[in-house]
């Protein structure tokens, strides 16, 4: 099995690139984030021509997550039990069972600044996600993948000094990730196609991508039964190149399964 995760930063804007990438990479399951389309407006017809079923959870111009699968989509769930809102629930998580594995695509709140109410919301959201995942982990294999908007360690940002006092690197955010890992997940390391750091996000401004001034904030968490079957995992940096890319690169994982 091959699966992947990608924050596409607007599926409509990125559709030609997405379709080309799907045809070339051929993941069995793809977790998408920041689709930025209303419920029912996801380009399901276009991806179905490549053999994919679609489960979407949309919210117009903001947020939005989806799952694409060519190995089945069963027990689809939008959001999760106990999920907090801001003030209402947002389209930030969707899960389904694909070939016996529950895949969840997540777009964790950004947090904005540490003194913003959105930061408190982010921490509450991550705490509720952990609680909801307890039941899923007890039921069978689970993969949680997506844009976590947290760099797990200082090694996951191009310069820790540049992020001092900012969100994405604070102790409470990183501790929230550790509590999720404590359920029995493994943070699957993906090898970079270039350089020493498996960054997945580069700001559009100031040539950050070409200077490799990035962050590893797109993560893949898998339960031990899945982690034990990983043959390879790579950050597809090539997908971040060219005209009109997303500011994130996909992560592609191959399983011996």
Which of 28, 52, 57, 107 is the catalytic position?
A: 107
**Domain spans of the chain?**
2-255
Burial class of residue 23 (count of CB atoms within 10 Å of its CB; 0-12, 13-18, 19+): exposed
Which of 28, 121, 136, 147 is the catalytic position?
A: 147
Q: How many other C-beta atoms can be found within 10 angstroms of the C-beta atom of residue 138?
A: 10
Q: Are strands 185-187 and 101-107 parallel, antiparallel or unpaired?
A: unpaired
Q: Within 13 Å and on the Cβ side, how many CA atoms surround 21?
A: 26
pLDDT tens, N- to C-terminus, the chain (257 residues):
999 999 999 999 999 999 999 999 999 999 999 999 999 999 999 999 999 999 999 999 999 999 999 999 999 999 999 999 999 999 999 999 999 999 999 999 999 999 999 999 999 999 999 999 999 999 999 999 999 999 999 999 999 999 999 999 999 999 999 999 999 999 998 999 888 899 999 999 989 999 999 999 999 999 999 999 999 999 999 999 999 999 999 999 999 99
Q: Mention every residue, 6+ apart, whose C-beta is less than 8 A from residue 134.
A: 183
Catalytic residue at 147? yes
Contact present, 173 and 217 (Cβ < 8 Å) = no
Catalytic residue at 204? no
Indicate the class that CATH gives domain 2-255: alpha beta
Backbone angles phi, psi at 86, to 5 degrees: -140, 65
Integer angstrom CA distances of residue 223 from 45, 71, 190, 205: 32, 19, 16, 36
């Amino acid at each position: 099995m091959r699966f992947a995760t990608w924050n596409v930063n607007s599926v409509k804007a990125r559709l030609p690139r997405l379709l080309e990438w799907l045809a070339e990479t051929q993941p069995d399951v793809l977790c998408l984030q920041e689709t930025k389309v209303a419920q029912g407006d996801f380009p399901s017809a276009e991806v179905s021509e490549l053999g994919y079923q679609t489960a979407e959870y949309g919210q117009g111009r903001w947020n939005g997550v989806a799952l694409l699968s060519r190995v089945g989509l069963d027990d689809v769930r939008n959001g999760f039990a106990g999920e907090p809102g801001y003030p209402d629930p947002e389209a930030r998580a969707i899960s389904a069972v694909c070939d016996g594995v529950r895949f969840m695509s997540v777009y964790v709140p950004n947090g904005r600044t540490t003194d913003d109410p959105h930061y408190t919301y982010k921490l509450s959201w991550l705490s509720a996600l952990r609680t909801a995942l307890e039941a899923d982990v007890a039921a069978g294999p689970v993969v949680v993948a997506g844009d976590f908007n947290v760099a797990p360690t200082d090694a996951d940002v191009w310069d820790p000094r540049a992020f001092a006092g900012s969100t994405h690197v604070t102790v409470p955010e990183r501790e929230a990730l550790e509590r999720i890992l404590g359920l029995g997940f493994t943070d699957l390391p993906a090898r970079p196609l270039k350089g020493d750091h498996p960054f997945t996000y580069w700001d559009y401004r100031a040539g950050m991508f070409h200077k490799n001034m990035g962050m590893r904030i797109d993560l893949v968490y898998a339960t031990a039964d899945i982690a034990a079957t990983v043959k390879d995992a790579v950050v597809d940096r090539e997908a971040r190149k060219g005209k009109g890319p997303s500011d994130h690169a996909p992560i592609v994982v191959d399983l011996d399964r």
